[in-house]
Amino acid sequence: MSLSAAEADLLSKSWAPVFANKDANGDNFLVALFEKFPDSANFFADFKGKSIADIKASPKLRDVSSRIFARLNEFVNNSADAGKMSAMLDQFAKEHAGFGVGSAQFENVRAMFPGFVASVAASRAGADAAWDKLFGYIIDALKKSGK
């Protein structure tokens, strides 16, 4: 459940320009997810039933997006380390399954994430496949947790 060194390198090079502007890009990522998959917002107590305009204006947006980006950064930094990935995936899946979030929600993330990254900066060939693999591991871990 880890990426090859070459895939991890592609991932980290594609992630670097996104994380370099993590506050704005974190907010943009979450808003893009909610715009494409409106039901996603309803999983978050702070955003349930709110319009995109209200979510954009909410002081909670940065709280949530910064936690997501910090965790994605850890995944990127450890993606070639099988031991760390296994522990992180296990914790991540248990955590999200506990919030009622499962593989269906992460299939949505998997579908929009390469496009989101490309909206910040062009990635090298192969980067999309590396992101797909990472989210595939997350989805497998959620399925293993029963979600």
The answer to whether residue 68 forms part of the interface with ligand HEM (CB under 6 A) is yes
The minimum distance between CB 121 and ligand HEM, in angstroms, equals: 18
Under rule CB under 6 A, residue 104 binds ligand HEM: no
**Which of 20, 24, 83, 99 is the binder for ligand HEM (CB under 6 A)?**
99
38 binds ligand HEM (CB under 6 A): no
Closest CB 45 distance from ligand HEM, rounded Å: 5
Q: Which is nearer to ligand HEM, 67 or 124 (CB)?
A: 67
SS3 145: coil
Q: Of 137, 133, 141, nearest to 14 (Cα)?
A: 133
Q: Could you tell me if 138 and 93 are in contact, meaning their C-beta atoms sit under 8 angstroms apart?
A: yes
Query: Alpha carbon of 122 to those of 56, 129, 133: distances in Å?
Result: 25, 14, 19
C-alpha to C-alpha distance for 131 and 76, rounded to whole angstroms: 9
Positions that interact with ligand HEM (CB under 6 A): 40, 43-45, 64, 67-68, 71-72, 95-96, 99, 101, 105-106, 109
